[in-house]
Structure 1
Amino acid sequence: MNPQAGTPPPPLGVYLHLPWCVQKCPYCDFNSHAPARADRRADASTLPAIPHERYTRAVLTDLASAAGPLQGRRVETVFIGGGTPSLFPPEAIGGLLEALDRRLGLTGDAEITLEANPGTVEQGRFHGYRAAGVNRLSIGVQSFDAGALRRLGRIHGPEEARRAVRAARRAGFRRINLDLMYALPGQTTAQALADVEAALALAPEHISHYQLTLEPGTPFHSRPPADLPDEARLLALEAACRERLAAAGLTRYEVSAWAHPGEACRHNLNYWRFGDYLGLGAGAHGKLSDPARDEIRREARVRMPGTYMAQAGTPAAIAELRRLQNGDIVLEFMMNALRLAEGFHRDDWRRHTGRPTTLFEDRVAEAVTDGLLSDDGGRIRPTQRGWQLLDGLLQRFL
């Protein structure tokens, strides 16, 4: 008997990708694009011109094409990422959310997150985003050190970040995440802690605290910045910041995510718990389950915005469509679940995948013996050592 038959599909989220930035940061490997030179305005105090109306129409066409098989599954979370989504006017964001509600239906308590840049121009839009239905902001601060921000290629300064948070509060945002990097070029433990203190002073509900990594294909990868921390300094930085964040009452519920009680990002939790999500926009990825067919598939849209706008809603806009086999499912499930402090329960595996746990039990047992996982018979969790060696731990499930 098909072990998934008759069971409901997992929770559904939607990821909307808006791919433009004022300029591309040298560490960023996301699908983001600076506007064409002809579209950049000479006055640096204004936003660059981007084809937001045409792009919004393309996303709506994409949604209309994709929504059919998802009827009856209401959307629990929406994440609007990029790029810099706050380059889009509130009216465009509102139109996208209205279409999602009309086509699929948003739950009454849907979490709707928008990524925002601390630049002063965008702050005036926060009231509009809130009125459009956005109820959570993720602000890309990265650092409160002016020199570090310049080396990272950021276009804002520390005070702009502080003003952005205050403006978001005035606009009515009760849930705010701050993105914060550590292991920056030349960064000392004291400097990393100073960034954490500056973030805590703004009282965000959530902090994403993650290591600067040199991703293939980025300028930082081809020309690494000088004085990156070695492993000993990296561990010292991470430990000191971890201790301070915990002392402030935040809980580390995922490798790089800290939250006050009840403030974990529900959209990201859905990823890590192997939930479903529809990806719309240039380069957007999605993962969708069909229990009736005993099928889990991954899909990705074409990456280039111009190509996406021309092809949205047609088969040509789907750059990748892959039906996961058992080995794929084991690896992808573990890549997500073992990022979480809670790990996963064997019942979660069976419910979300419809597969037997025998597919991974021997490798879990080996990792428990090596001190990388704990296993109480039902729930499997990463240890602190397992988190520190997460890449190696995941290799065991290839």
Structure 2
Amino acid sequence: MRPLQIYIHIPFCVRKCAYCDFLSFAADQETQRAYIRMLLREIEAWQDRGDEVISTVFFGGGTPSVLPAEEITLVMEALKKKFSFAGDAEITLECNPGTLTAEGLSRYRRAGINRLSIGLQSAQDKELRLLGRIHTWEEFEESYRLARAAGFANINVDLMSALPGQSPAAWRDTLEKVLALAPEHISAYSLIIEEGTPFYERYREDAQRRERGEVCRILPSEEEEREMYWMTEKLLKERGYERYEISNYAQPGFACRHNCGYWERREYLGFGLGAASLMDHTRFADTASLQQYLDGRWRGETQGRLTRAEEMEETMFLGLRLRRGVSFAHFYRTFGVTMEEIYGEVLQRLERQRLLERTEERIFLTKRGTDISNYVCAEFLF
């Protein structure tokens, strides 16, 4: 049986956050119900090959927990009817504080969901208001308590640093408060101001200043951002969290298997608005038009079969996001040539610059290489 990952996109949220450029939006209950009906049809229509076993499922968004819990249950039932599941399948639901209830969490558990990813972003109410979040720190604490009471023993908390007006001291306070709760996993990202968001219009000039190394008026300076970045690794390491990927930390045994699958280029199948898939060396995605999706025209354009060179590039720049890096043996088994034959000059140059390090089995980023990972990974593009 071939392992297969599944992603379910739920695009709905209470309201759009000021920094968010994801495919998400608020919608009325009638639209939400129509969407779920079409999502169930799309799952049912998939031509199962019969040799696949589901290793992970990830409900992402948007905020999947804005839906009534029974609709999440319907999707899980449709998946279990269509596919075979591994006995230890990791099934994650993204959720936000303020959208969780004791009854809903109990229903999630009965449906088979065994991992929650809670979007906190900050423990400072002032920062939460700035971000446009719908909750306070106190409401997050209550949601977290309800999740533990419902029996969830695998919880991720999403955090975001380098926010407008944020100081290293405020970021430390956020980390300390979250660490006191001992979640199994923490995702810690730096704010990226994306075009088309309210933040882009509000802070564009300051973001450009920071990129040029000039003094910022509102956003933290580059030095402050670096301080927060390394503070995160130091504090989490002291509390027993392994940094297994550039932005992700986990207690032993709790690395997110679904996300690791993306970085290792395992096959995955996406259902829902704009959801992407990688199957049989081909990338394709559902339509990003809600009306087309609700009309039953869910399949978007296929990007086409990946070339051998494209797959080599992805193997390197995705695999190097993981702290364990890329296996020489895996590269040879996949492509029939050694990594040295294809990337020898690049590997040697980056090792001389102390951005890459190797063992007999693997190549991986050094601490310095992790700090400028975008530059390192771009070196592997043909």
User: Structure 1 length normalisation: TM-score?
Assistant: 0.88
Letter in 1 for 2:92: T
Of residues 43, 46, 53, the one that matches 1:66 is 46
Of residues 17, 21, 31, the one that matches 2:23 is 31
> Counterpart of 2:144?
165
- Equivalents in 2 of 1:352, 1:124: separation in Å? 47
Most deviating of 124-133 and 355-364: 355-364
- Equivalents in 2 of 1:180, 1:113: separation in Å? 17
2:179 aligned with 1:200: yes
* Structure 1 contact 58–312 (Cα < 8 Å) conserved: no
> Counterpart of 1:249?
240
> Counterpart of 1:16?
8
Letter in 1 for 2:290: P
> Counterpart of 1:128?
107
Q: Cα distance, 1:176 vs. partner?
A: 0.4
With over 3 angstroms needed to count, the CA separation of the structure-2 counterparts of 1:351 and 1:65, relative to structure 1, is: farther
2:75 aligned with 1:84: no
- Equivalents in 1 of 2:64, 2:144: separation in Å? 16
> Counterpart of 2:256?
265
Of residues 220, 224, 239, the one that matches 2:230 is 239
With over 3 angstroms needed to count, the CA separation of the structure-2 counterparts of 1:354 and 1:298, relative to structure 1, is: farther
> Counterpart of 1:304?
289
**Cα offsets for 1:129-169 (capped at 9, x unmatched):** 11111100000000010000011111100001000100001
With over 3 angstroms needed to count, the CA separation of the structure-2 counterparts of 1:378 and 1:50, relative to structure 1, is: farther
Q: Cα distance, 1:387 vs. partner?
A: 1.0
**Cα offsets for 1:186-207 (capped at 9, x unmatched):** 1111110100011111110000
Q: Cα distance, 1:16 vs. partner?
A: 0.4
Most deviating of 353-362 and 337-346: 353-362
- Equivalents in 1 of 2:67, 2:101: separation in Å? 9
With over 3 angstroms needed to count, the CA separation of the structure-2 counterparts of 1:123 and 1:385, relative to structure 1, is: farther
Give the secondary-structure state (helix, strand or coil) at the position aligned to 1:20: coil
> Counterpart of 2:365?
382
Of residues 277, 281, 306, the one that matches 1:324 is 306
**Cα offsets for 1:15-73 (capped at 9, x unmatched):** 000001111112111111122xxx3xxxxxxxxx25333222222222233333x4211
- Equivalents in 1 of 2:332, 2:25: separation in Å? 40
Letter in 2 for 1:369: R
Letter in 1 for 2:255: A
Identical residues among aligned pairs (%): 40
Q: Cα distance, 1:175 vs. partner?
A: 0.6
Ranges in structure 2 where 5+ consecutive residues have no aligned partner: 207-216
Taking only aligned residues, the RMSD between alpha carbons, in angstroms, comes to 1.8
> Counterpart of 1:364?
347
* Structure 1 contact 275–352 (Cα < 8 Å) conserved: no
Most deviating of 350-359 and 213-222: 350-359
Most deviating of 144-153 and 229-238: 229-238
- Equivalents in 2 of 1:397, 1:309: separation in Å? 40
* Structure 2 contact 317–378 (Cα < 8 Å) conserved: no
- Equivalents in 2 of 1:62, 1:302: separation in Å? 12
**Cα offsets for 1:61-105 (capped at 9, x unmatched):** 22233333x421101000000000001222221221222122121
Of residues 220, 224, 232, the one that matches 1:229 is 220
Of residues 320, 328, 347, the one that matches 1:338 is 320
Q: Cα distance, 1:306 vs. partner?
A: 2.4
- Equivalents in 1 of 2:312, 2:362: separation in Å? 16
Of residues 239, 262, 275, the one that matches 1:284 is 275
Letter in 2 for 1:396: E
* Structure 1 contact 135–173 (Cα < 8 Å) conserved: yes
- Equivalents in 2 of 1:375, 1:31: separation in Å? 39
- Higher RCO, Cα 8 Å, sep 6+: 1
Give the secondary-structure state (helix, strand or coil) at the position aligned to 1:209: strand
- Equivalents in 1 of 2:256, 2:336: separation in Å? 26
> Counterpart of 2:380?
397
* Structure 1 contact 117–139 (Cα < 8 Å) conserved: yes
- Equivalents in 1 of 2:73, 2:90: separation in Å? 14
* Structure 1 contact 72–104 (Cα < 8 Å) conserved: no
Q: Cα distance, 1:327 vs. partner?
A: 2.6
Letter in 1 for 2:327: H
Most deviating of 128-137 and 219-228: 219-228
User: Structure 2 length normalisation: TM-score?
Assistant: 0.91
* Structure 1 contact 61–312 (Cα < 8 Å) conserved: no
Q: Cα distance, 1:212 vs. partner?
A: 0.8
Q: Cα distance, 1:120 vs. partner?
A: 5.1
